[in-house]
């Protein structure tokens, strides 16, 4: 058995980009940032940020484009998918999260130093 499951919980980095697809469906592209705090070997604290591209389809795409805004907290469950394309002989890759479940939690961004 194989598992391709991703869970992310972070801040929306930009308002969703909503598009209608040629097949009549719809998709919203959402950016989410997740932060990680850690201590280095010398004891200093450091913060690392990862940026994720989320693809949301169907009715969830319509809802996300209507209600999600930059700075909101968002929870996504989904799967990883890598797209490949070639331009002028150069291959490019992009790994995205295909949303299976998306929830926004509140409109105020979280301070990573909040206790």
Measured between alpha carbons, how far is 12 from 50 in angstroms, rounded to an integer?
A: 12
pLDDT-above-90 percentage for the chain: 87
Predicted TM-score of the model (pTM): 0.81
Burial class (CB in 10 A: 0-12, 13-18, 19+), 57: middle
CATH number of the domain within which 35 lies: 2.40.50.140
114 domain-assigned: no
Q: 40-75 pLDDT, tens per residue?
A: 999 999 999 999 999 999 999 999 999 999 999 999
Check pLDDT > 70 for residue 12. Answer: yes
113 domain-assigned: no
Domain of 28? 6-104
| Domain count within the chain | 1
Question: Taking all residues of the chain, what is their mean pLDDT, rounded to a whole number?
Answer: 91
76 domain-assigned: yes
112 domain-assigned: no
């Amino acid at each position: 058995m194989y598992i391709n499951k991703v869970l992310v919980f972070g801040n929306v980095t930009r308002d969703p980009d909503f598009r209608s697809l040629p097949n009549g469906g719809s998709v919203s592209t959402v950016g989410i940032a997740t932060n990680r705090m850690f201590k280095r070997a010398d004891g200093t604290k450091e913060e690392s940020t990862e940026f994720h591209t989320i693809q949301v389809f169907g009715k969830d795409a319509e809802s996300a484009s209507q209600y999600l805004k930059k700075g909101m907290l968002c929870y996504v469950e989904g799967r990883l998918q890598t797209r490949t394309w070639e331009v002028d002989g150069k291959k490019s890759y992009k790994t995205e999260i295909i949303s299976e479940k998306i929830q926004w939690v509140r409109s105020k961004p979280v301070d990573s130093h909040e206790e």
